[in-house]
Amino acid sequence: MKDEQTTYLDFTEVSQAVEAAELVGVFYRTELPCWYEEGPPVLGGEQFFCCFECGAYWRLQLAEHSQRGSWERIA
């Protein structure tokens, strides 16, 4: 499942929702999982999160001028 933001504002809203989920203990930041194969380099960088409730891993691709960012469940 992948959700690409269509505007920088969309990305900002997703980013704020992720930060709020971190604050209440739903998500926590994690390192790149050893089993995850990286794709091509991302201009804005990326962050990885894990859900405390279900154990799902998520990749947040940070928005950059030429990229809009994305939010993708990777496991």
Q: Where are the domains of the chain?
A: 2-73
Helix, strand, or coil (residue 71):
strand
Structure confidence at residue 68 (pLDDT): 66
Is pLDDT above 60 for 73?
Answer: yes
Read off the pLDDT of residues 3-51 as tens digits, 9 standing for 90 and up. Answer: 665 666 677 787 788 889 999 999 999 988 888 887 777 677 788 899 9
Q: What is each CA distance from 66 to 21, 29, 40, 45, in whole angstroms?
A: 27, 25, 14, 13
Tell me which of 1 and 60 has the higher pLDDT: 60
Give CA–CA dist 52/74, Å, rounded: 15
Structure confidence at residue 60 (pLDDT): 84
Structure confidence at residue 8 (pLDDT): 66
Is pLDDT above 70 for 61?
Answer: yes
